Structure 1
């Protein structure tokens, strides 16, 4: 790959968006270096396609849409174990043991920093379960472009919660929008919840006037999306 350290810092969220358009890709996560260059690309895929073909399609999609040639050696593909004869074509409601008890979520800290064109987010989420509380960190980085900060915060929040859920579940940011409702500005997020047994979409909304800034409102919206299914949220 032709990475130029510092000069060509990438927008991780934009790359992940493009990669997730590839057939069979369920989620993607970029790991960037100190100057924002791509170090690793981790992909979660469904089992019906050959991993090598998935990698080739990712290289083609990124080259065509973003103009960046990728080094296939930096792309790792993990495939979920197939359940039954085929991967489900529609979203399924989780039931029985597939409903996860996550605990209470609380935003402990949110640090948004930028240097030139590159922005970074570090977030700490406290998850309280069974009377015990643990902190989980989430990180995201990308281009310091107007409107992209909320996407980075959402990715970092989902990464933090995902560390608690473990490898059997994946959380994907499917959409994030700023909209007006009831005369107030609000943040809407749509989160994809994946496991080996089911997949579904969860939505959460937070108004800007109930948070200090749009970044904390974004984290609050993510928490509320997760609360729809398996978490208890507290402000």
Structure 2
């Protein structure tokens, strides 16, 4: 099988047999790149498998495929698979049940920097969160850089990838969770009651949390800013809010 783990990328798998085998073995494939206009049987089979697994498919020119290829023998298909297995949201709720704790989940919207994701997974582990949820689109996957930045936390903290963040939040609301998102215009986090089953939603430094995701949240929390600039790095914001949740939980 032609595959290689590259720094900053996912597991790169290329060649028709290797890519098809990856899908059929159940390996979590985040993205499939296919040579535009290639319509032969094996490629159609691979595209069919990708759709079945809800993988993002991009049809690209030959030059782009060559850039992505590590071996130069891509045969018209290159796949990016996760370096680590994804969990299910249900696994996180079960983990909370086993520990006898209220669920504490961290949800990420628009986080595309692998260093931010890795740092947030590390914080999630240390703050006792039961898992991290990321969307399929406009998000970095579990790449080698994410694993390295998490400093081993990825081995212990489950990460789930969902198709629709809002739908997942609505389903979790039915299970008793409520949601708070970080936003500069929100009420001071020190004035909010952050106890109980909670989902903390963090957006990117530039774009913040998407409109629909924000509207689905029950509260909007602001972090007091005393300096001359107006925003924190996403992973730092996640850490500050996560530990306010920890502080309130320790109070009982």
- TM-score if structure 1 supplies the norm length? 0.29
Structure exhibiting the larger radius of gyration computed from Cα positions? 2
Structure with the higher strand share, 1 or 2:
1
Question: RCO greater where, 1 or 2, for CA within 8 Å and sep 6 or more?
Answer: 2
- TM-score if structure 2 supplies the norm length? 0.28
